[in-house]
Chains A and B, each alone.
Chain A
Amino acid sequence: MTDDMTPTSSTNGNGHGHGSPGNGSAALSPENAQVIELTRKDFVSDQEVRWCPGCGDYSILAQTQKTMPDFGVPKENIVFVSGIGCSGRLPYYMNAYGFHTIHGRAPTLATGLKVARPELMVWVITGDGDALSIGGNHVIHSMRRNVDIKMVMFNNRIYGLTKGQASPTSELGKKTKSSPAGTVDFPVQPLSLALAAEASFVARSVDTHTEHLQATLNRAGFHKGSAFVEVLQNCNIFNDGAFRDFTEREVRDDRTLVLEHGKPMIYGKDRDMGIRLNGLHPEIVELGNGVTEADLLVHDEEAEDPYLAYMLSRMWWPQFPVPVGVLRNVQRPTHDQLVVGQIDDAITKFGDGNLEKLLVSGETWTVD
């Protein structure tokens, strides 16, 4: 029997007690990142990568593998959970624990896993169809609960694995195999949705902006709580060039706004353009002619209210440069902390549960 068992650990010698090296936030702090010496190679699995040649997913995989050693978490304590779609294959290519689940439901499995094993670092890999269509409900609820998962959503604005149907992020009127006359569905803005769902970390990057992508994934990994990262990802087979207008090297600087906490919103190859607030609306201004940096909006990813982040989430090319980077980064208790806290409180208050006593509780009588 297991009378002496504490409910937060297992007696099975499975080596995953709370004292493991990946435990808690300590291992996740930058100072501890040196404790475990791993390299990108340690995170490359023995499986042959099978995305289409030229797919943006290759870059996301590479940047993910590159940033993994930064966290100081042993690879046995890292889990990649995915849904269905091209993105869903990523866990097979990561040398960590991986679970390729069913369409749209990865956040539910990740939530259960974090409830059961709070010390694990859990990444959810998903796509625009997986996360925003079939799995929309789970994205909302995992974010509002602040489940400590890092959700990376590959947004290519198309269904790739099923060969080219419109997705929830496809632009209105887009002609696809399933919408030969153009879609009639207004698209959803993923970051707006994540903010509305109370995600505590919301960011965007681009598959081809490799350094920025790696840095963004790094930030997400160090965030304690629900992180939502949209990666604009090119599907060169079914939706080639979806983001070309503002992500190509020649135009990138003029058409994206790289967000930096505490810095004025300046962009452009010549750093001469900025974003100013006009009433409740952002507007583009050119620096000079009386307009100075002091007139510009200053990015505050830690603002308690989400208004600025929400405004940024609505900005899109060609009306605006597309914001990339961290829109929001706030702290609140995580779901697993609250769950475990209640367990600990109950044990403090009532003592570790005694099964014999539980079974004979209530009104009993004895027959001799």
Chain B
Amino acid sequence: MTTETAPAKEVDTQELERVTIRFAGDSGDGMQLTGTQFTRTAAVFGNDVSTLPDFPAEIRAPAGSLPGVSGFQLSFSSAEIYTPGDDPDVLVAMNPAALRTNVGDLPAGGALIVNQDAFNPNNLKKAGYQSNPLSDGSLKQYNVFEIPISTLNARALEGLDMTSKQVDLTKNFFALGVMFWLYERSMEPTLRWIDMRFSAKAVVAEGNVRALKAGYAFGETTEMFHTTYRVAPAKLAPGTYRNITGNEATALGFVTASRLAGRELVYGSYPITPASDILHQLATYKNFGVKTFQAEDEIAAIGSAIGASYGGQMGMTASSGPGIALKSEALNLAVMVELPLVVVDVQRAGPSTGMPTKTEQADLLMAMFGRNSDSPVPIVAPATPAECFDYAIEAWRLALKYMTPVIYMSDAFLASGSEPWRIPQVSDLPDISVTNHADSATFQPYARNPETLARPWAPPGTPGLEHRIGGLEKADVTGNVSYDPDNHHRMQVLRHEKVAGIARDIPQLQAHGPERGDLLILGWGSTYGAIRSATERLQAEGWSVAHAHLRHLNPLPANTEEIMRSYRRVLVPEVNLGQLSLLLRARFLIDVVGFNKVRGKPFRIIEIKQAAEELLGKDHRND
């Protein structure tokens, strides 16, 4: 199929502010790649983008089965957006199972593009369909485009030295080509990517190029489509941008922190979803002096990190909930010996193994309290994929300045979701370096900086400072082992005060909206986008609503209570059963209202908006 022989057709172009597309198919169908390619293309074009990959934990669940469905939703816009969109405008379903698991999210009138070829009796049965939805009228509220993608794609690749299985694997690029045509996107970025990715396999490269171009040409020539859609570039703040996922930003943030502090990064880690990508990425930064260590288990991972920090470098580890649970004892050692350390928790749905690829923010109380005794650890939590960069640096700033382990909380949604990131100038980034103690005349292992209460860092290799540390209680100042009752009380209080004092060194909580009002929606972590969007919609409708988002969970910003008391009600949406709510109620005796849903998925804007409206409406009725 070539464009030259295609008959010209009348095509209308429609301007849209925002479009949300969901690609869904079998986990072997390459939906994540398809979504990523569309995202990159939209981002490079200048749209604001936000993405939500949604895939099963099984690498290859049985083909065509419901558990094997993999999805990728992306939203792109000519205005600033905060979320990957509640509901898709367009659903691309590569097989019946993908249709069945996703069509419920498609609003009436939404566009549905299906691979007609996949709707055979076998696949229909695997998806649990009694009759073919393409012919039984059950899809009549949608704008359905049935395309025999497999057949058309196979025809386009005829003559190439590829097996039929290899040919079939390229059909996602046919679908991508159709979408590029529909949204007036250039194929160039993807063609360049194919070139790079398959440079060693010319025939596979050619197959993918043909598939992509055939899909594009199909859109152009078929009588099926009469409209293409245009989404203009967004007016983002001036600067150089790149599209970035949370895990990518996290890894870049840690390398950057290492350079800003002038110490080597030593990253000890054990593979776990969804944190492993940070290890993979850092392992490629060896020329930055980054040392990655794939440990034999989670405990060895944090142990090696503590050993590295003891040695004067920047030891850190990352995991997800089950692994963080295993690290608790060692983390407490770091609390006791007061060494800098950063522990990343890319949260996922639990308890136990739970749903490894699905998101949740239910490790907050574990981060706060999941250790024996009173064991204060600062906690930071980025709110967006791009912010993961900033808070990686912030986590290290606190760890180094206060000689303390710091927990950095991301989640599966932040980790794999992406958005445009305005790349900072390195010269604008903070200096987070600290000096080692080197003077033997003044050295006491547990003497404290009067301002920060940090103890001195005296790594081995410093002459005259030979000393011993360990998990046994330390005598104040000397650091000798001590069982003295008063000393223990004093040390417990000192450890507590050191972390609490960080509140003086972090930004105040900002409310987005009126300074006083009816409702504050207070969140943390990856719920930022949904809360911000819901808040702006409510504000546009005239409600007196503000949004505040915590990036520091321990200690809380100094003005947290003041902000909370400036509104009649406080709504706390969390993807857990009320963990921040519990902390806020306990700390401030404020009767916050939780909005809690744990479906392994990020909040939808509409859910938060409705929860807020219900609260506001109740108050209204009570007036």
- Pair B259/A355 contact, Cβ less than 8 Å: yes
> Given the interface contacts A101-B303, A359-B252, does A113 sit within 8 Å of B466 by beta carbon?
no
> Given the interface contacts A111-B307, A115-B304, does A10 sit within 8 Å of B263 by beta carbon?
yes
- Pair B315/A112 contact, Cβ less than 8 Å: yes
- Pair B289/A7 contact, Cβ less than 8 Å: yes
> Given the interface contacts A92-B481, A105-B299, A141-B296, does A343 sit within 8 Å of B286 by beta carbon?
yes
Looking at the assembled complex, report how far the CB atom of B253 sits from the nearest CB atom of chain A, in whole angstroms. 10
Chain B, Cβ-Cβ closest to A134: B299
- Pair A119/B461 contact, Cβ less than 8 Å: yes
Q: Does B273 make an interface contact (CB < 8 A)?
A: no
Chain B residues with Cβ under 8 A from A349's Cβ?
287
Chain B residues with Cβ under 8 A from A81's Cβ?
307
Q: Mark A1-21, 1 if CB is under 8 A from B, else 0.
A: 110011110111111100010
Q: Which of B259, B297, B302, B310 contacts A113 (CB 8 A)?
A: B310
Chain B residues with Cβ under 8 A from A84's Cβ?
471
Looking at the assembled complex, report how far the CB atom of B194 sits from the nearest CB atom of chain A, in whole angstroms. 14
Interface residues in A351-367 by Cβ distance below 8 A to B read 351-353, 355-356, 358-360, 362-367
- Pair B242/A363 contact, Cβ less than 8 Å: yes
- Pair A358/B288 contact, Cβ less than 8 Å: yes
Which of the listed residues B240, B337, B435 has the most CB atoms from chain A within 10 Å of its own CB? Answer: B240
Q: Which of A2, A12, A98, A102 contacts B333 (CB 8 A)?
A: A102
Q: Does B300 make an interface contact (CB < 8 A)?
A: yes
> Given the interface contacts A102-B333, A108-B307, does A365 sit within 8 Å of B44 by beta carbon?
yes
- Pair B312/A2 contact, Cβ less than 8 Å: no
Chain B, Cβ-Cβ closest to A78: B460
Q: Does A221 make an interface contact (CB < 8 A)?
A: no
Chain A residues with Cβ under 8 A from B133's Cβ?
none
- Pair A137/B297 contact, Cβ less than 8 Å: yes
Q: Does A283 make an interface contact (CB < 8 A)?
A: no
Query: How many Å lie between the Cα of A98 and that of B465 in the bound state?
Result: 11
Looking at the assembled complex, report how far the CB atom of B196 sits from the nearest CB atom of chain A, in whole angstroms. 11
Q: Does A305 make an interface contact (CB < 8 A)?
A: no
> Given the interface contacts A14-B438, A98-B469, does A116 sit within 8 Å of B264 by beta carbon?
yes
Chain A, Cβ-Cβ closest to B472: A100
Chain A residues with Cβ under 8 A from B472's Cβ?
100
Chain B residues with Cβ under 8 A from A261's Cβ?
none
Query: How many Å lie between the Cα of A105 and that of B331 in the bound state?
Result: 12
- Pair A76/B465 contact, Cβ less than 8 Å: yes
Q: Does B423 make an interface contact (CB < 8 A)?
A: yes
- Pair A350/B287 contact, Cβ less than 8 Å: yes
Looking at the assembled complex, report how far the CB atom of A352 sits from the nearest CB atom of chain B, in whole angstroms. 6
- Pair A109/B304 contact, Cβ less than 8 Å: yes
Which of the listed residues B45, B287, B438 has the most CB atoms from chain A within 10 Å of its own CB? Answer: B287
Query: How many Å lie between the Cα of A337 and that of B311 in the bound state?
Result: 17
- Pair B300/A45 contact, Cβ less than 8 Å: no
Interface residues in A86-137 by Cβ distance below 8 A to B read 91-92, 95-102, 105, 107-117, 119-120, 137
Chain B, Cβ-Cβ closest to A74: B463
Looking at the assembled complex, report how far the CB atom of A355 sits from the nearest CB atom of chain B, in whole angstroms. 5
Query: How many Å lie between the Cα of A351 and that of B463 in the bound state?
Result: 33
Q: Does A138 make an interface contact (CB < 8 A)?
A: yes
Q: Which of A10, A77, A107, A137 contacts B264 (CB 8 A)?
A: A10
Looking at the assembled complex, report how far the CB atom of B82 sits from the nearest CB atom of chain A, in whole angstroms. 18
Query: How many Å lie between the Cα of A115 and that of B309 in the bound state?
Result: 11
- Pair B256/A355 contact, Cβ less than 8 Å: yes
Query: How many Å lie between the Cα of A115 and that of B470 in the bound state?
Result: 20
- Pair B291/A343 contact, Cβ less than 8 Å: yes
Query: How many Å lie between the Cα of A108 and that of B388 in the bound state?
Result: 28
Chain B residues with Cβ under 8 A from A346's Cβ?
286-287
> Given the interface contacts A100-B471, A359-B252, A367-B237, does A339 sit within 8 Å of B461 by beta carbon?
no
- Pair B264/A105 contact, Cβ less than 8 Å: no
Chain B, Cβ-Cβ closest to A8: B289
Query: How many Å lie between the Cα of A298 and that of B438 in the bound state?
Result: 52
Chain A residues with Cβ under 8 A from B329's Cβ?
102
Chain A residues with Cβ under 8 A from B264's Cβ?
7-8, 10, 116
Interface size in chain B (residues, C-beta < 8 A)? 81
> Given the interface contacts A101-B471, A113-B310, does A2 sit within 8 Å of B330 by beta carbon?
no
Q: Mark B471-511, 1 if CB is under 8 A from A, else 0.
A: 11000000011000000000000000000000000000000
Query: How many Å lie between the Cα of A20 and that of B459 in the bound state?
Result: 14
Chain A residues with Cβ under 8 A from B465's Cβ?
76
- Pair A105/B459 contact, Cβ less than 8 Å: no
- Pair A111/B293 contact, Cβ less than 8 Å: yes
Interface residues in B430-464 by Cβ distance below 8 A to A read 433-436, 438, 459-464
> Given the interface contacts A117-B460, A346-B286, does A109 sit within 8 Å of B307 by beta carbon?
yes
Interface residues in B316-346 by Cβ distance below 8 A to A read 329-330, 333, 337
How many A-B residue pairs have C-beta atoms within 8 angstroms? Tell me: 261
- Pair A363/B44 contact, Cβ less than 8 Å: yes
Chain A residues with Cβ under 8 A from B46's Cβ?
365, 367
Q: Does A22 make an interface contact (CB < 8 A)?
A: yes
Query: How many Å lie between the Cα of A290 and that of B289 in the bound state?
Result: 64
Query: How many Å lie between the Cα of A82 and that of B460 in the bound state?
Result: 15
Q: Which of A15, A22, A141, A366 contacts B300 (CB 8 A)?
A: A141
Q: Does B467 make an interface contact (CB < 8 A)?
A: yes
Q: Which of B242, B297, B303, B427 contacts A112 (CB 8 A)?
A: B303
Q: Does A250 make an interface contact (CB < 8 A)?
A: no
Q: Does B33 make an interface contact (CB < 8 A)?
A: no
Chain A residues with Cβ under 8 A from B315's Cβ?
112, 116
- Pair B259/A120 contact, Cβ less than 8 Å: no
Q: Does A34 make an interface contact (CB < 8 A)?
A: no
Looking at the assembled complex, report how far the CB atom of A279 sits from the nearest CB atom of chain B, in whole angstroms. 37
Query: How many Å lie between the Cα of A286 and that of B501 in the bound state?
Result: 76
Looking at the assembled complex, report how far the CB atom of B362 sits from the nearest CB atom of chain A, in whole angstroms. 27
- Pair A109/B241 contact, Cβ less than 8 Å: no
- Pair A75/B466 contact, Cβ less than 8 Å: yes
Q: Does B285 make an interface contact (CB < 8 A)?
A: yes
Looking at the assembled complex, report how far the CB atom of A141 sits from the nearest CB atom of chain B, in whole angstroms. 4
Q: Does A79 make an interface contact (CB < 8 A)?
A: yes
Q: Which of A14, A100, A102, A364 contacts B241 (CB 8 A)?
A: A364
Which of the listed residues A75, A109, A138 has the most CB atoms from chain B within 10 Å of its own CB? Answer: A109
Query: How many Å lie between the Cα of A115 and that of B502 in the bound state?
Result: 31
Query: How many Å lie between the Cα of A8 and that of B266 in the bound state?
Result: 12
Chain A residues with Cβ under 8 A from B424's Cβ?
359
Q: Does B535 make an interface contact (CB < 8 A)?
A: no
Q: Does A347 make an interface contact (CB < 8 A)?
A: yes
Q: Does B104 make an interface contact (CB < 8 A)?
A: no
Q: Does B262 make an interface contact (CB < 8 A)?
A: yes
Query: How many Å lie between the Cα of A76 and that of B440 in the bound state?
Result: 12
Chain B residues with Cβ under 8 A from A367's Cβ?
46, 235-239, 241
Chain A residues with Cβ under 8 A from B555's Cβ?
none
Chain A residues with Cβ under 8 A from B463's Cβ?
15, 74, 76
Query: How many Å lie between the Cα of A1 and that of B429 in the bound state?
Result: 9
Query: How many Å lie between the Cα of A75 and that of B464 in the bound state?
Result: 9
Chain A residues with Cβ under 8 A from B470's Cβ?
82, 91-92, 98-101
Q: Which of A113, A137, A140, A358 contacts B311 (CB 8 A)?
A: A113
Chain B, Cβ-Cβ closest to A345: B286
- Pair A368/B262 contact, Cβ less than 8 Å: no
Chain B, Cβ-Cβ closest to A344: B286
Q: Does A47 make an interface contact (CB < 8 A)?
A: yes
Chain B, Cβ-Cβ closest to A11: B262
Chain B residues with Cβ under 8 A from A141's Cβ?
295-296, 300
Chain B residues with Cβ under 8 A from A20's Cβ?
461
List 9 additional A-B contacts (Cβ < 8 Å) besides A75-B466, A108-B301: A5-B259, A5-B262, A7-B290, A10-B262, A13-B436, A100-B468, A115-B291, A140-B296, A343-B291
18 examples of A-B residue contacts, CB within 8 angstroms:
A45-B468, A76-B463, A96-B466, A97-B466, A98-B467, A108-B268, A115-B307, A116-B311, A116-B312, A117-B313, A120-B461, A339-B293, A349-B287, A359-B252, A359-B423, A364-B240, A364-B242, A366-B240
The 3 closest A-B pairs by CB, nearest first: A7-B289, A108-B303, A100-B470
